[in-house]
Amino acid sequence: MSNKTPVTAKRRLDYQPPAYQIHDIELSFNLDDEVTKVKSLLHVFKQGDHDQPLKLDGENLTLIEVKLNGKSLQQYELTDEALTLSNLPDECFIEIYTEIDPASNKTLEGLYKASGSYCTQCEAEGFRKITYFLDRPDVLSKYTVTIYADKKRYPYLLSNGNKIDSGDLEDGKHWVKWQDPFFKPCYLFALVAGDFDKLTQSFTTSSGRKVALELYVDKGMAHRGEHALASLKKAMKWDEVVFDLEYDLDIYMVVAVDFFNMGAMENKGLNVFNSKYVLADSQTATDEDYFNIESVIAHEYFHNWTGNRVTCRDWFQLSLKEGLTVFRDQQFSADMGSPVVNRIKNVKVIREHQFAEDASAMAHPIRPDEVIEMNNFYTVTVYDKGAEVIRMLHTLLTPAGFKRGIDLYFKRHDGQAVTCDDFVNAMQDANSINLDQFKVWYEQSGTPELTVEQDFAADTGTLTLTIQQHTPVTLDQSQKKPLYIPVRVEYLANDGSSTTDIIHLTQSQQKLVRDGFDVEPTVALLGDFSAPVKVIRTLSAESLLTIALHSNDGFSRWDAAQTIYSQFIHSLTPNGSTLAITQETITALLDGLLESAMEDQALLAEMITLPSVETLVQQVPKYYVESLHSAREKLERIIISHAQPMFEKQYHGLAFTNYDYTPSQTATRKLRNQLLMYIASTEQGEELVTQQFMQSDNMTDTLGALKAAQHAKCKCFDKLMSQFEETWRADPIVLDKWFALHASRQSEDILSRLDLLMGHQQFNHENPNRVRSVIGSFAFFNSTGFHAKDGSGYRYIGQYLQKLDKINPQVASRIVTPLTQWQKLDEERIVKMKAELVRLLDNKDLSNDVYEKVSKSLGYQ
Ligand code: B3K
Ligand code: ZN
């Protein structure tokens, strides 16, 4: 089935505590382009009475020498993956000399050199590419790190903790010594060496300690670092106010680098960031970029407590730190801006991507059971569904109860490596509640479905809701249990008054009876998206309109509008719809929205935005590519032909102002740009798009114009794009937006266009941001191009991934995702997609990363 040497998965239930602990590690690095020398001195303690050997993980290392208690050791076992030492005393010092080659490390994991700087990325298992060590999160050590490098080329030598010494050497080299007073797992180790512009500010914690905040960016980019630093201070303050959590070192450093596999990394005291999540000014960054920077900066900062002070016992527990930290950053963002719009943003991720993951062969619980390559499990399930699970606890326990649980969690586990059960137990014990059934969320994969029936007895005024919960089987699990699901319910009366309730679902079928209604209320379910589930119910168009226009819950309003749009679209495809949504429902919704003079412009923008194709696909059993796209386009035409005058009036009424990143300006720009998306396809479209592009003083409106032109296939698109390219050709982060717009464009000759993009001077196969903006945008967001009937889109991606896998398996494995999600497509496409997957598997050097996803998708494991 595959030419690859079989790889075995690790299983959660096989966990064994480490046979040895390493209390201290002294590392020294001699950074050199030819050969980088790493010396490591480990203070090792045997755990318990046993004679097991010490098996240190190591990959791509050249071992020079090993010493035991100062004496050269000749007896050891060395393989491609480990260095094993036997017959060790209960306590000893082990010195290991190795050599590595950071300049040729294109995987961007371990220690690598890119754009002239040295940089590390160790999570999940990259430390083993730096030196031999127990590369697992339950081995906690104190680190002392000395870095030697050429002073001119690498004036900044950074690592975790506090700088305790430094000096110059005669040969133009210098050195810096760092010490981190906190015990930490090796995945939080970091080293950076390079020449940067540095911004320095400070933050005084609630207990009065002054912390130095240092931001390192590429030369000439300092002015683009202000927003990130301001965001950091907001996050530090917020965590003190909301969770009583204070920062614990005297210095907090953030370094922005161009070559990075993901968003950012929370290394203790030394975060490393993809520069895309640091650099911003109004000319180059959109409102969304500003938002993302604030949220990622906060996310990494929040990890200092949820992840670093209390870490994971093993990688299966990843959601312990990620689900919780995503929940924390979502709460922070909600407090900084609009809670409703943030909630909608979170829910879109779940419905577009997490539901798709559940429906694929990669379905896994938020705490996975089996893993081949850990990097494949930094998923929307572990992160975003994980955050939803934490949010349900927050709902069930109330914010005050949740805070009691968090306090107990830190009291019990500060300085430890623990499990998801430890977290839930702290929540349970602090609130004297039994959460046994709630724990099923951690072990069960799949998207639960709630089927709801509503009954009203007019004579008694009694309303009965009958709710069945059912989790369809997933490819990884054939048995499903009932879950503990909080469902927020709102009863809307005819006079506009409303009351809310939370139903605690625990059984497969449950009845909820409520008396005291004069007339049957309209019932909105799953307010604020109180659980990551799908709701199946038959609602009249009238009830949906009532919820969309009158609910007190902004999320429910948006959700009802989305249901109206979705069901209208599905009714035009072979999937059909059980709801009777007609063109009149659509126009009544638009009229209601536009006439109600909604104050929340951002919510209005969301409410006139149609569900994405990806979201629509997750609502139906089959993805009829052509018919779904044309149905969605038809709805767009209906909307514009009805609302054009109102949209234009609104568009012109929303004033241009001097750019500032404030919630109110952001909301206005969001609405204007959404209106422009519609208007672009009308007669005035070309002119308005061009005008907005020309007059814009900020990247949000510039990009808004380009997106509208691309979507409406305006003639001006190519001209505006060339102008954009001319302005920004020397600025790769900005140019990524241009790459992405080209790659997601619907056009017959898209594949030759992709070739051209990859021939662009700024394109570089070794830079993940470039690859994601061209290849990722095509595979994930160009659904007509990717799903071209002749299979050419699949072929293109398959061939590209063969090459990319040899350079950067982590990025290749991310981009292979759409190729593995064939389950809902038609037979012809399934055959073509699978052929591509089989071709990939034919490659005997395929990385474990891509192998795991592809072989699962083909049902081989
Ligand atoms: N913890 C890192 C992600 C590491 C991914 C490794 N493949 C960033 C974050 O979630 O904060
Ligand atoms: Zn994280």
pLDDT surpasses 80 at 563: yes
Q: Which of 467, 481, 472, 470 is nearest to 446 (CA)?
A: 472
365 lies in the same domain as 474: no
Task: Out of 179, 195, 211, pick the residue that ends a domain.
Answer: 195
Q: Is 357 in the pocket of ligand 1 (CB under 6 A)?
A: no
> Which residues, including other chains, have CB under 8 Å from residue 355's CB and lie 6 or more apart?
447, 534, 618
Q: Look-up: residue for tokens 């390192």?
A: 216
Global pTM reads 0.98
pLDDT at 685 (0 to 100): 97
Element (H, E) at 648: helix 625-653
Lowest-pLDDT range of 61-75, 148-162, 523-537, 651-665: 651-665
pLDDT of residue 5: 74
Q: Residue 272: how many CA atoms within 13 Å on its side-chain side?
A: 31
Residue 1: per-residue pLDDT: 64
Q: Quick check: is 776 in a domain?
A: yes
Q: Which of 107, 266, 383 to mutate to test the pocket of ligand 1 (most atoms within 8 A of CB)?
A: 266
Mean of the per-residue pLDDT values of the chain? 97
CA of 327 to the centre of ligand 1 (A): 15
pLDDT at position 120 is 98
Q: Whose alpha carbon is nearest atom 2 of ligand 1?
A: 265
Residue at 205 is within a domain: no
Ligand 1 pocket, 387 CB below 6 A?
no
- Tell me whether residue 751 is in a domain: yes
Catalytic residue among 300, 322, 352, 606, which? 300
Q: Which ligand 1 atom is nearest residue 124's CA?
A: 6
411 and 516 in a single domain? The answer is no
The residue whose C-alpha atom lies closest to atom 7 belonging to ligand 1 is 375
Q: How far is CA 94 from CA 18, 27, 66, in A?
A: 17, 12, 7
Q: Which residues of 42-67 are buried (b: 16+ CB within 10 A; e: fewer)?
A: bbbebeeeeeebbbbbbbebeeeebe
Q: What is the 3-state secondary structure (H, E, C) of 157-190?
A: EEECCEEEEEEECCCCEEEEEEEEEEEECHHHCC
- What pLDDT, in 10s, does the model give residues 702-746? 999 999 999 999 999 999 999 999 999 999 999 999 999 999 999
322 lines ligand 1 (CB under 6 A): yes
Say whether both 71 and 173 belong to one domain: yes
Measured from the CB, is residue 123 less than 6 Å from ligand 1?
yes
Q: Which of 443, 477, 512 is the last residue of a domain?
A: 443
Q: Are 266 and 312 contacting, i.e. CB atoms less than 8 angstroms apart?
A: no
Q: Which ligand is nearest to the CA of 267?
A: 1
In a domain? residue 657: no
Q: Assess whether 510 and 427 both reside in one domain.
A: no
Computed on alpha carbons and rounded to an integer, the radius of gyration of the chain in Å comes to 28
- Do 436 and 453 belong together in one domain? no
Are residues 329 and 405 located together in one domain of the fold? yes
Examine the domain organization and report whether 155 and 78 are in the same domain: yes
> Is 262 close to ligand 1, i.e. is its CB under 6 Å away?
yes
Number of the ligand closest to the Cα of 323? 2
| 265 close to ligand 1 (CB < 6 Angstrom) | yes
Question: Is any ligand 1 atom within 6 A of the Cβ of residue 299?
Answer: yes
In a domain? residue 365: yes
| pLDDT above 90: percentage of residues in the chain | 97
Structure token pair of residue 341: 């719009």
pLDDT the model gives residue 662: 96
With a 6 A CB cut-off, is 737 part of the ligand 1 pocket?
no
Same domain as 427, residue 465? no
Phi-psi region of 87 (alpha: psi -120 to 50; beta: other; left: phi over 0): left
Q: Any idea what the CATH number is for the domain that residue 796 is in?
A: 1.25.50.10
Ligand number with the minimum distance to the CA of 849: 1
The protein residue whose alpha carbon is closest to atom 4 in ligand 1 is: 123
Tell me the pLDDT tens digit for each residue of 753-785: 999 999 999 999 999 999 999 999 999 999 999
CATH number for the domain harbouring residue 44: 2.60.40.1730
How many domains, in total, are found in the chain?
A: 4
- One domain for residues 463 and 416: no
Confidence of residue 861 (pLDDT cuts 50, 70, 90): confident
State which of 149, 164, 195 marks the end of a domain.
195
Element (H, E) at 674: helix 663-679
Looking at ligand 1, which atom is closest to the CA of residue 266? 11
pLDDT digits (tens, 9 = 90+) for 389-431: 999 999 999 999 999 999 999 999 999 999 999 999 999 999 9
Cβ of 109 closer than 6 Å to ligand 1, yes or no, is no
Confidence check: pLDDT of 523 > 70: yes
Please check whether residue 790 lies inside any domain of the structure.
yes
3-state secondary structure of 499: strand
Q: What is the pLDDT of residue 2?
A: 72
Domain limits at 427?
311-443
Rounded Cα–Cα distance for residues 683 and 689 (Å): 11
Question: Both 846 and 816 in a single domain?
Answer: yes
Out of 112, 257, 262, mutate this one to test ligand 1's pocket (max ligand atoms within 8 Å of CB): namely 262
pLDDT digits (tens, 9 = 90+) for 624-661: 999 999 999 999 999 999 999 999 999 999 977 899 99
Is 300 assigned a catalytic role? yes
SS3 (DSSP) at 659 = coil
CATH of the domain at 345: 1.10.390.10
Residue pLDDT, tens place only, 30-84: 999 889 999 999 999 999 999 999 999 999 999 999 999 999 999 999 999 999 9
Among protein residues, the one whose CA lies closest to atom 10 of ligand 1: 322
Give a yes or no: residue 485 inside a domain.
yes
Q: Are residues 370 and 459 in the same domain?
A: no
Look at residue 573 and tell me if it is in a domain: no
Same domain? For 435 and 458 the reply is: no
Residue 381 CA to ligand 2 centre (angstroms): 13
Other beta carbons less than 10 A from residue 234's beta carbon: 17
Question: Do strands 251-257 and 210-217 pair parallel, antiparallel, or not at all (unpaired)?
Answer: parallel
Query: Which one of 322, 332, 373, 847 would you pick to mutate in the ligand 1 pocket, going by the greatest count of ligand atoms within 8 A of its CB?
Result: 322
